[in-house]
Amino acid sequence: MDEEAVEQNNACKNPANRSITTVEELRIALEKMGLSTKGHKAELKRRYRKASKKQKEKEDDVKTTVAYRDTSEATNVSEKAITEATVNMMEEATTIENLIESKASDKKKQPFDYYLFFDVEATCEENGGFTYPNEIIEFPVVLVDGSTFDIVDEFRSYVKPTRNPILSDFCIKLTGIQQSTVDESPTFVEVLDLFQEFMAKYGLFQTKSATFVTDGPFDIRDFITKQCKHSKLKKRPAYFDIPWVNIRQSFKRFYKQTENKNISMMLSYLNMKFEGREHSGLDDARNLVAIGKRMHEEGCIFKPNCNYSFRNNQVYYQTNKQKRRR
């Protein structure tokens, strides 16, 4: 069978090949491609196949380029969408930060530069009552920044009692303060000198405004009054005559309670726990700070609500008949 017969036979088997099976068709196809039409059939066919292969490669290159361009465009669109989403998230975060800063700036400013959280411990006996001549044996103060209620510094000194220098077993068990500790401690007057040096470092009651915060009126109204009498001070220190904050009253009003709460009750209401040892003056003061900080963060303004009146606070322990004033 000659070459032309083979081509015709193949064309019958594969109709797609009919357009290029004859010499005339090959020459027409080559002419359309701009190629030479000279030569015998086998040569024409090789030329056509080679040209067809190159043309297919070009078409494949074009398809690849188009596909890459489409993918690039899709990627660009995706990247653009991601960028826009990122920008939106950043804008939302900035908005949230601005709202937080706005709320912080809207928070009312406390009226004092500093607050001194103060909670003394004193000599006592079981069933001693209010007329017992208590003497201060621990003098602790926790100083906080009025704008943040963060702790700035602490002052603590134990105090040597002079009227009744021997601590009762009840007092030792209640406060955890040992007899040897108070025996080696400075007197109340010496402690006041040390405390005034502490306050001078921060300009308290001088260049910086300040006030005390206590758990009830007792520490300043009663224990300081008794101790000044024991120490034979002609005048109370002026900073103890300035109106101060009774946090029990502040707590009651701010949270709309029907009665005053002590430290443990205030902590319980706020779902907080006491940290440290109860009836340790410094630990009590630190827990008062924790309560005060929570109240500050929730918008409470710490204004003085308690003051000392000499007329109503004279030597409580002189007679059992004298009524306790609150």
Whichever domain contains 135, its CATH number is: 3.30.420.10
Please list, in sequence order, all residues whose beta carbon lies within 8 angstroms of the beta carbon of residue 179, skipping any fewer than 6 positions away.
Answer: 166, 167, 172
Tokens of 42: 């086998």
Per-residue model confidence (pLDDT) at position 129: 84
What pLDDT is recorded for position 204? 98
Sign of CA dihedral 210, 213, 217, 222: negative
Q: Where on the phi/psi map is residue 10: left (φ > 0), alpha (ψ -120 to 50), or beta?
A: alpha
CA distance 197 to 199: 5
* Token representation of residue 70: 């489409």
Question: Does one domain contain both 173 and 46?
Answer: no
- Write down the pLDDT at residue 160: 98
In the prediction, which pLDDT does 6 show? 44
State the total domains in the chain. 2
Question: Structure pTM?
Answer: 0.66
Whether residue 216 is found in the same domain as residue 297: yes
Phi, psi dihedrals of residue 147, rounded to the nearest 5° = -90, -25
How many other CB atoms are found less than 10 A from the CB of residue 87?
10
Q: Are residues 126 and 42 in the same domain?
A: no
Together in a domain, 126 and 100: no
Question: According to the model, what pLDDT value does residue 298 have?
Answer: 96
Is residue 140 domain-shared with residue 245, that is, in the same domain? yes
Last residue of one domain, picked from the residues 53, 82, 104: 104
**130 lies in the same domain as 239:** yes
pLDDT, residue 322, reads: 43
d(CA 51, CA 57): 10
Span 216-257, pLDDT tens digits = 999 999 999 999 999 999 999 999 999 999 999 999 999 999
Spatial separation of the C-alpha atoms in residues 81 and 129, rounded to whole Å:
76
Provide the pLDDT for residue 99.
55
pLDDT at 312: 58
Rounded Cα distance, 32 and 51, in Å: 11
Last residue within a domain, chosen from 104, 134, 151 = 104
- Give a yes or no: residue 323 inside a domain: no
Beta strands in the chain (DSSP E): 114-118, 121-122, 136-145, 151-158, 210-214, 245-246
pLDDT of res. 95: 60
Residues 194 and 49 in one domain: no
**Angle of helix 247-254 relative to helix 281-297, nearest 10 degrees?**
30
pLDDT for res 66? 57
Residue where a domain terminates, one of 104, 127, 154:
104
Domain check: are 86 and 213 in the same one? no
User: Residue 60 is part of which domain span?
Assistant: 3-93+96-104
Residue 287 lies in a domain: yes
The pLDDT of residue 36: 83
> Maximum distance among all alpha carbons in the chain?
145
Residues of the chain with pLDDT under 50: 2-18, 100, 105, 315-326
Q: Is residue 326 domain-resident?
A: no
Same domain, yes or no: 120 and 100? no
Q: Judge whether 87 lies within some domain.
A: yes
Residue 43 in tokens: 């040569």
Please check whether residues 163 and 83 belong to one and the same domain. no
Element (H, E) at 277: none
Query: Quick one: 234 and 280 in the same domain?
Result: yes
Q: Are residues 186 and 289 in the same domain?
A: yes
Q: Residue 265 in contact with residue 291, Cβ under 8 Å?
A: no
Q: Which two tokens stand for residue 196?
A: 């005034």
Q: Are 226 and 317 in contact (CB under 8 A)?
A: yes
Helix/strand/coil for 109: coil
Residue 157 phi, psi (nearest 5): -145, 135
Alpha-carbon distance values, 45 to 19, 21, 41 (Å): 12, 9, 6
In a domain, 138, yes or no: yes
Find all residues with CB under 8 Å of 245, minimum gap 6, and list them.
115, 211, 212, 213, 214, 302, 303, 304, 305, 306
208 close to 183: Cβ distance less than 8 angstroms: no
| Residues forming the active site | 121, 279
Q: What does the pLDDT look like over 274-297, one tens digit per residue?
A: 999 999 999 999 999 999 999 999
Q: What's the rounded Cα separation, in Å, for the pair 229 and 232?
A: 5
Whether 241 is in a domain gets the answer: yes
Q: At 162, list the tokens.
A: 């002079």
Does residue 109 fall inside a structural domain?
no
Residue 208 in domain: yes
